[in-house]
Structure 1
Amino acid sequence: MAAHHKMDDRVGRDRLEEMAQGVIGEPLDRPEGELKVSGRATYAMDGLPAGCRHGVLVRSTVAKGRLRAFDVDSVERLPGVRAVIADDRFIKNPAQGMAGKAPAQDTREILFFGQPVALVVADTFEQARHGAQILRQEVERAEDAPVSLDDPTAQLDTPSNKQSSSGDIDAAMRASPFTIDATYTTPGHASAAMEPHASVATWEDERLTLQASYQMLRYNRAELADALGIEEDNVRLLAPYVGGGFGSKLGIAPEAVAAAIASKELGTPVGVAMTRQNEFEMVLRRSDTRQRIRLAADETGRLIGIGHDALVTNLPGEKFSEPVTQATPFLYCGDNRAIGHKIARIHRTPSGSVRAPGEAVGVTALEIAIDELAAACGIDPVELRRRNIPDQDPSKEIPFSSHMLAKALETGAARFGWSKRNASPGEVREGEWLIGLGMASAARVNMLIESKASVTLTKQGRATIETDMTDIGTGTYAILGQVAAEMLGLPVTDVETRLGDTNLPPASGSGGSFGAASNGTAVFLACEEIRQQLCTKLDCNPEDLTLKDRHAVVGNRRIPVVDILNGEDIRGEGHVEPGEAEDKVRQATYGSYFAEVAVNSVTGEVRVRRMLGVFAAGRILNAKTARSQCLGGMTFGIGMALTEELLHDPRDGHIVNRDFAEYHLPVNADVPQIEVELLEERDAWANPLQAKGIGELGICGAAAAILNAIYNATGVRIRDLPATVDKVLPGLA
């Protein structure tokens, strides 16, 4: 019988605190790390099945129009070419994440430049690529194709569920001695995961097996079945290792559908791997944004009004829109509040979830505006934020489950040496370099997603975890093993974790920073079930049982677990799902960033010299993997602040910088020695582990700390990200 827990209220006991093995929270290595660094971990395109053909996607070369025909015959005559898949089934746009249904559409309609329109399959990748490059398309081009956020012909949608207000923000702005009313813009971003999308499809009768690179397998299985028009039970997905996702692999992408269709038609396995250029054009981008932020404060710097209006972009008909204002309703106090959200329908690569959708760009803009308010009020930026921490969620008037922002601000300021900062911009110089310090708050919503897992304690005294959860480079193998080892009193080397197979219990998947807490709780519950069965065998109460170092301790007895098992396996199943708790309290994670930059007074070049992040995310399950996630998030922030932006041709919206040579990710030379401090926290409202998400927290506001440091160094306020030299230099003059 499965151990089931629905989060309707706070948990009464911290069961992990009662355990004795001592591995939870420890900075342990990843158990699969050696496989990855030695090349033995099998990713989607590794170990191709015998007879596997190769497919290459063909892209549209117009922003909007209708496909009329392809010159299929000339390509099919090429050496090695087995098929050109260019029918209505392939054009269907699959759902993007969380098992949404594919939207109804004209299957020959082109909606963006780079849209996949066909697949060429051949014996070798090179033959397929050649065929894809020369396949001629007959297209009826449409002239009415707005391709930018600024195009006045773009339709503007106003989703009703993303508008809110209380009080009178306009009156607050008129009455306040200190106000900020400014507009901030952020460009589109690419997820830029190391492993491109890849799928290998194999059919056995009517059953499809797809080895692929995806984040949320139980949802992806449903999406693929929907796209193919088959029963979900006839789809099996395999993704034991995923080379990064950052949101781009939340939902299935065109290569999965194309590989499945081609394999079915040819009767052989077919593998389709996207090129880097395909990744940029065909998958997802973070929406560009325009954000107007209004702040009104009294004489003491206390906020009495906050307004945040966002304009984002997406394709016509797409449901997703970047949740830019997600943290604004609860981050700071202010009785007069207004949240607005509009979507410009344009013909660019569709926008979707990229790491920390919403807060990554929304908190960044808000934190620059808060810095501007601090300067206007003449109040230290740390102090201004501290004064405006609300006692409860101002938008819902419910308590916080826990709140660590003040602690993060105080800890970060002390550790970084913030008190030594010169508050006057442009006053600190080292030769031709202007030096400045900046800071920002971090905030990210916290979520729990339904998840299941099974754990087997074998007769040999070892444990096996089974779940279709994925590890996208975040440390899932490590933390699930630590949870089971702690609960069952085993060394982590005695725990095997099996992931990434939809034949296993359906997990939350990796996304939204909910994976560790959600699936970790499912493993925890399965272990609780095993402990209960051991108690039955020992005739004792659960609170009297201690498991440590492969032994059970009850009263004065210390018994090897293998002796209790007596040649039998014990299996436990865990099932967690969200409940009323998420409506009773506001759950969020918090942190702070501090950065020092040097700006060249001659060239406008910006260098980040040091950076600190302080974060609170409930119980930390593995200090090493958690710190690694924060380092990655802050590196993301450096890219957002200084280098990363998708550039689109204004004529047809195509992405100009569609590779790593031109899309400038921060590299080693751009990234200083980043420091991370993880604060001690427990949140009994979050889940039985009392752990919260940390993967995306590290990016939510990180760029703002750097932009604020640039202002402190130079007096130049950059509101149009990223802060490239062409934007910094004119202000220096």
Structure 2
Amino acid sequence: MTAHFIGKPQTRVDGPRKVTGDARYAADFNQAGQAYAVIVSATVGLGRVTGIDSAPVERMPGVTAVITHRNAERLPYLPHKAGIDPAVGERLHVLQDDNVRFYGQPVALVIADTLDNAERAAAALHVSYEARQPLVDPTVAQSIVPDGAMVDRSRGDADEAMARASVVIDETYNIARENHNPMEPHATIASWSGDRLTLWSKSQYLVNERAEIAAIFGLPVENVEVICPFIGGGFGTSLRTWPHVTLAALAARHIRRPVKLVLTRRQMFFTTGHRPRTFQRVKLGATPEGRLVGVAHEGTGETSRYEQFTEALTTVTDYLYSCPNVRTQYRLAQLDTSTPNHMRGPGEASGIFALESAMDELSYKLGIDPIELRRRNEPQIDEAENKPFSSRSLMQCYELGAERFGWARRTPEPGSMRDGRLFIGMGAATATYPAFHAPASARVRLLADGMVEVEAAASDMGPGTYTSMTQVAAEFLGLPLEQVRFRLGRSDYPQTPSHGGSWTMASVGSAIRAACLEAQAQAARHAVQDAGSPLSGARMDDLEWSEGRLRRRGDASAGLSYQDIVSRTRVPIEAAGSAQRDPKVAERYSMHSFGAVFAEIAIDPDIGTITVRRIVGAYGIGRVVNPLLARSQCTGGMIGGMGMALMERTVLDPRDGRSVNAHMADYLMPVNLDIPELEAHFVDEVDPHVNPLGVKGLGEIALVGTAPAIANAVFHATGKRMRTLPITIEDILTV
């Protein structure tokens, strides 16, 4: 095999389908005779439904049915939890009782022959409630220790060390709730054929959606099929199987017709997860020379009352810097809201804002350059786990990023840099994210026409999965990209983990590599066993694949192509492959991606506006399969980090828990005019331990360090420390 494609900036193989409109998303798979369902959402934040006047609505034009807890099928809701689901608690049993647990919970479903008729009928349905006051403010909620989780960790005695420290930073940091808001809304089309169910559904985890719906309806898993070839943005919101999927299937069985259900933008704020609001305290103790002697990091995140959502809020602090005395603590505030969910960089993005803001504060208090402070506290090993990193290029990232950003031009004093009347600030922060890996499988099929089909039950929400997996298969088979067709988006393909957590390439890519190698082995066996083959009787050890052709080692002849071999077998050659991390390797090494993010901002002192001028990121992510796609991932993450730092905030009405800005007019996020010059660079990093491809995840880490870099730049510009996100005009003008 000769490498040709891994490491090359290949454009998207699915690009033409997307720009021509040929790519079909969940809501595009319209079925003959389908009806339309619209959810009626609770208008109280806590209580129970006391009455639903459905008779007038059922007589409205085109209405097929109104489903409520009174006439809904009783579903078994068999136990089922995937790794993406909260380990403690039970998912919402939709339309199974009269309880209202949060504002926006589905309390009825209206089905009609057209979407217009369904929407009019849903708006006309009168629901009465016995309402109680919900608790939706985590600042007044009593915090609890999450069940069954190792949430408190320590080494040494952090409190004693900081009591004796020469310099101490002790501050609190708050981050607002965020909603994912991808371009494509959640959508499901459900169709039954007897006791078999097909779902065309937006999902980042098809295998789990299949298993979850099978458990809810008490079906064999093989009786459910989930199809999702394209996703119009996810960011984690489609990792879990939310109630609307169950409702679509329930409605289709109720009326015995296919049913299409698409959430409105407002409904997506209620029932499809969110980044939890968090409160953190970070205390750092250091010597005058800038060596950390003690670190304490305490964090609290919100969750619902019926499930305990946890994320890695404080785990980064355990390993990021060298310190003999570290204490971390994580708590939950239970609220009368829907359950939060993983959102790009879950936990790490929030936790590192607090830690990296505190490190920046320490650098100014000590009079040490922020990068130099981090260099002085660079660990040699993961001190929390007492084992080496499989690779760690953080300082190389800082060196590369500082050079490309022009950090040397920064003057250290806050408020010292100007551009006319504008205040200029430059900030830096560390990014990191675990190099996850999960068991995955793939299938390769060699066809007689020379084409190769590759299948895996993965998803593609935009990072370029179709393209990068095609590159991996073409690389290991030694074929042109045009001869490889990669297929994903079906739950009956070989099983893969969720399309989230930055492990798709590591997991699925490694499985595809294994399947390709097995396909080559099978093809070679056919060639040597075929009496009419020029390689008949050859020893397998004497053969080699090169440029997609099988020949004897050292033989300059053309050899046999895959097409030659399959044409003689007269049936396609099919091979399966799987990959999982060796547990012994996982026990031996600490595996993470690292990066350094630099931001330059400008502040108008008269009106308080903050403009991000530049962001430069440098990352150590092992082998880069496609630099073009990787840079696109990074710039997308940076934009998400801008939103976290300066714009995104979901505001709840304390009276009922309603999201008062559940629409795109008041839920602010970066748009084209906000996007500055963005650069992403990659250090050369070889990591033979993480997986057979040597790749680390990228999607999450690109967001993780951006918000603290911007916040640190705001302090450099103004001398005013912002410890609450998002940073607003009012913050600049009133502090």
1:516 is displaced (CA, Å) by 1.2
Q: CA, structure 1 residues 662+96, in 2 after alignment: closer, same or farther (shift >3 Å)?
A: farther
Q: CA, structure 1 residues 158+203, in 2 after alignment: closer, same or farther (shift >3 Å)?
A: closer
**Match of residue 558 from structure 1:** 558
Could you tell me which of 570, 574, 577 is aligned with 2:577?
574
SS at match of 1:211: strand
Q: Deviations over 1:616-658 (max 9, x none)?
A: 1111111111111111000011111111111111211211111
**Match of residue 13 from structure 1:** none
Which range is displaced more, 45-54 or 79-88? 79-88
SS at match of 2:721: coil
Which range is displaced more, 129-138 or 337-346? 129-138
Please give the alpha-carbon distance, in whole angstroms, between the structure 2 residues aligned to 1:371 and 1:513: 27
Q: Deviations over 1:696-723 (max 9, x none)?
A: 1101121111111111111011001111
Is structure 2 residue 71 aligned with structure 1 residue 68?
no
Could you tell me which of 92, 105, 111 is aligned with 1:121?
111
TM-score, normalised on structure 1?
0.94
Q: Give percent identity, aligned residues only.
A: 38
1:138 is displaced (CA, Å) by 2.3
Q: CA, structure 1 residues 196+95, in 2 after alignment: closer, same or farther (shift >3 Å)?
A: farther
Is structure 2 residue 68 aligned with structure 1 residue 86?
yes
Is the contact made by 1:201 and 1:271 (CA closer than 8 Å) also made in structure 2?
A: yes
Paired letter, 1:564: I
Q: CA, structure 1 residues 315+96, in 2 after alignment: closer, same or farther (shift >3 Å)?
A: farther
Please give the alpha-carbon distance, in whole angstroms, between the structure 2 residues aligned to 1:365 and 1:584: 29
Q: CA, structure 1 residues 709+541, in 2 after alignment: closer, same or farther (shift >3 Å)?
A: farther
Is structure 2 residue 261 aligned with structure 1 residue 272?
yes
Q: CA, structure 1 residues 528+167, in 2 after alignment: closer, same or farther (shift >3 Å)?
A: same
Q: CA, structure 1 residues 103+638, in 2 after alignment: closer, same or farther (shift >3 Å)?
A: closer
SS at match of 1:464: strand
Paired letter, 2:595: G
Is the contact made by 1:206 and 1:234 (CA closer than 8 Å) also made in structure 2?
A: yes
SS at match of 1:693: coil
Please give the alpha-carbon distance, in whole angstroms, between the structure 1 residues aligned to 2:474 and 2:125: 55
SS at match of 1:558: coil
1:228 is displaced (CA, Å) by 2.1
Please give the alpha-carbon distance, in whole angstroms, between the structure 2 residues aligned to 1:91 and 1:109: 15
Please give the alpha-carbon distance, in whole angstroms, between the structure 1 residues aligned to 2:478 and 2:580: 26
Please give the alpha-carbon distance, in whole angstroms, between the structure 2 residues aligned to 1:42 and 1:443: 35
**Match of residue 692 from structure 1:** 696
Could you tell me which of 457, 462, 484 is aligned with 1:468?
457
Which range is displaced more, 394-403 or 551-560? 551-560
Paired letter, 1:58: V
Could you tell me which of 382, 392, 414 is aligned with 1:403?
392
Is the contact made by 2:135 and 2:654 (CA closer than 8 Å) also made in structure 1?
A: no
Is structure 2 residue 143 aligned with structure 1 residue 142?
no
Is the contact made by 2:549 and 2:558 (CA closer than 8 Å) also made in structure 1?
A: no
SS at match of 1:368: helix
Q: Deviations over 1:403-446 (max 9, x none)?
A: 01011011111111111111000111222200111111110011
Is structure 2 residue 379 aligned with structure 1 residue 427?
no
Is structure 2 residue 682 aligned with structure 1 residue 682?
no
SS at match of 2:267: helix
Please give the alpha-carbon distance, in whole angstroms, between the structure 2 residues aligned to 1:603 and 1:97: 49
Is the contact made by 1:286 and 1:322 (CA closer than 8 Å) also made in structure 2?
A: no
1:500 is displaced (CA, Å) by 0.7
- How many residues end up aligned between the 2 structures? 711
Q: Equivalent residues in 2 for 1:9-408 (5 A)?
A: 19-87=1-69, 98=83, 100=85, 102-103=90-91, 107-143=97-133, 145-152=134-141, 154=142, 156-159=144-147, 160-408=149-397
Please give the alpha-carbon distance, in whole angstroms, between the structure 2 residues aligned to 1:487 and 1:200: 37
Paired letter, 1:427: S
Please give the alpha-carbon distance, in whole angstroms, between the structure 2 residues aligned to 1:91 and 1:366: 48
1:45 is displaced (CA, Å) by 1.1
TM-score, normalised on structure 2?
0.94
Please give the alpha-carbon distance, in whole angstroms, between the structure 1 residues aligned to 2:690 and 2:345: 19
Please give the alpha-carbon distance, in whole angstroms, between the structure 2 residues aligned to 1:487 and 1:479: 13
Q: Equivalent residues in 2 for 1:602-617 (5 A)?
A: 602-617=606-621
1:459 is displaced (CA, Å) by 2.0
Moved over 6 A (4+): 90-96
Please give the alpha-carbon distance, in whole angstroms, between the structure 1 residues aligned to 2:588 and 2:125: 57
Which range is displaced more, 496-505 or 269-278? 496-505
Please give the alpha-carbon distance, in whole angstroms, between the structure 1 residues aligned to 2:544 and 2:460: 32
Please give the alpha-carbon distance, in whole angstroms, between the structure 1 residues aligned to 2:273 and 2:261: 18
Is the contact made by 1:98 and 1:219 (CA closer than 8 Å) also made in structure 2?
A: no
Please give the alpha-carbon distance, in whole angstroms, between the structure 2 residues aligned to 1:450 and 1:102: 26
Please give the alpha-carbon distance, in whole angstroms, between the structure 1 residues aligned to 2:392 and 2:276: 30
Q: CA, structure 1 residues 275+675, in 2 after alignment: closer, same or farther (shift >3 Å)?
A: same
Q: CA, structure 1 residues 223+605, in 2 after alignment: closer, same or farther (shift >3 Å)?
A: same
**Match of residue 546 from structure 2:** 547
**Match of residue 589 from structure 1:** 593
Is the contact made by 1:91 and 1:118 (CA closer than 8 Å) also made in structure 2?
A: no
Is the contact made by 1:95 and 1:252 (CA closer than 8 Å) also made in structure 2?
A: no
Please give the alpha-carbon distance, in whole angstroms, between the structure 1 residues aligned to 2:258 and 2:365: 64
Q: CA, structure 1 residues 72+367, in 2 after alignment: closer, same or farther (shift >3 Å)?
A: same
SS at match of 1:161: coil
Is the contact made by 1:91 and 1:107 (CA closer than 8 Å) also made in structure 2?
A: no
1:244 is displaced (CA, Å) by 1.3
Q: CA, structure 1 residues 602+225, in 2 after alignment: closer, same or farther (shift >3 Å)?
A: same
Is the contact made by 2:159 and 2:296 (CA closer than 8 Å) also made in structure 1?
A: no
SS at match of 2:28: coil
Please give the alpha-carbon distance, in whole angstroms, between the structure 2 residues aligned to 1:679 and 1:558: 39
Q: Structure 2: give runs of 5+ residues left out of the alignment.
A: 528-534
Q: CA, structure 1 residues 47+236, in 2 after alignment: closer, same or farther (shift >3 Å)?
A: closer
Q: Structure 1: give runs of 5+ residues left out of the alignment.
A: 1-18
SS at match of 2:211: helix
Paired letter, 1:156: I
Please give the alpha-carbon distance, in whole angstroms, between the structure 2 residues aligned to 1:359 and 1:475: 24
Please give the alpha-carbon distance, in whole angstroms, between the structure 2 residues aligned to 1:466 and 1:599: 50
Please give the alpha-carbon distance, in whole angstroms, between the structure 2 residues aligned to 1:428 and 1:550: 61
**Match of residue 530 from structure 2:** none
Please give the alpha-carbon distance, in whole angstroms, between the structure 2 residues aligned to 1:90 and 1:353: 30
Q: Deviations over 1:245-285 (max 9, x none)?
A: 11110011122111101101111100000011111122111
Q: CA, structure 1 residues 52+393, in 2 after alignment: closer, same or farther (shift >3 Å)?
A: same
Please give the alpha-carbon distance, in whole angstroms, between the structure 1 residues aligned to 2:587 and 2:462: 31
Q: CA, structure 1 residues 104+592, in 2 after alignment: closer, same or farther (shift >3 Å)?
A: closer
